[in-house]
Amino acid sequence: MPMLLSAEPQNQSITTFLILGFPNTRKIEIALFFVFLIMYLLTVTGNIIIIVTVNTDNHLQTPMYFFLGNLSLLDVGYTSSTVPKLLSILLMNVHIISFVGCLLQSYFFFFFGSAECFLLAVMAYDRYIAICYPLRYSIIMNKRICVIFVIVCWISGCMAPLIAAIMVINLPFCGPNIINHFFCDIPPLLKLACIDTSLIQLITFLFSAMVILSTFLCTIISYTYIGITILKIPSSHGRHKAFSTCASHLTVVSLYYGTVIFMYVSPTTRSSFDLNKVIAVIYSVVTPMLNPMIYTLRNQDMKTALKRIIFRMLMNKKEFELSH
């Protein structure tokens, strides 16, 4: 790969950045391009399939699948905020990004990520009500409440990164302008500012910890009560059935929070940007790709609904061919 040079003079505020990505030999970069392209296509395709299935199958018109459809929509936006730029870096060596583009990428990445944190907590609460209060579930988790929950998640996700965005937009950047990451993440971006950003780093760290840990705590509390309730079920079949309803969500929560907490709540990881890139790939690319597989392969209702949709498509195709 050609050497990256600072594109802006050192004595004035820079207007563009260079995203380093994964610098390596050209053959390895091309190989990485195809790996990330396949993962991105699987992510988008899988999550769109879930969205379409949830919205077209009458048997899935329940709060759990309503939230799942929104989670898939967030995952599409989440991975789309970073991967397309990474693909252009790997394939065409287009490392340059404008200051505004960098800020927008960072904002939307944390917008979708924060909204997903809130939504995962809501989904855990939904499972808590379904298992601990099954007779009152339809009353508590009615359609109006579900819509309010989702709106709050999206608005909270929208508001969460605003403080960091406002602070970053007012920072002076005099050079160098190379971001040691594969997207405009806040920590490596702050390293390029001309002034001391320790206070800003502390504020963004506290805000990140507040969003991540508060939603994670809510999720843990919900699953603690769920676990206690499941253990009280007398039959093993009943315990297995109750656990299977939340196993997929619990798997997603473990994958997502495990890497996000390590990345943004553990201060020790901030000095190792190479390690951060690997961790970031897991929660920003791998996890959104695995979510559709987890929810379809481990969920009998989803598999049945997909079979019904495929059957209807085949029947419609057959009727169309016969009519012509």
Whose CA is closest to 115, among 62, 160, 65, 83? 160
The residue assigned the tokens 């507040």 is 210
CATH architecture of 16-308: Up-down Bundle (1.20)
- Token pair listed for 269: 């990881």
Q: How many CA atoms lie within 13 A of 256 on its CB side?
A: 29
Q: Which residues of 4-17 are buried (b: 16+ CB within 10 A; e: fewer)?
A: beebbeeeeebebb
Q: What does the pLDDT read at residue 21?
A: 87
What proportions of the chain, in percent to the nearest 5, are helix, strand and coil? 75, 5, 20
Q: Which residues of the chain have pLDDT under 70?
A: 1-13, 266-273, 297-298, 317, 319-322, 324
Q: Which residues of 31-57 are buried (b: 16+ CB within 10 A; e: fewer)?
A: ebbeebbebbeebbebbebbbebbeeb
Beta bridge partners of 19: 179
pLDDT tens per residue across span 108-126: 999 999 999 999 999 999 9
Look up the pTM and report it. 0.87
Q: What does the pLDDT read at residue 276?
A: 77
CA distances (Å), 126 to each of 2, 123, 138, 141, 312, in order?
A: 51, 5, 11, 7, 31
Q: What does the pLDDT read at residue 244?
A: 75
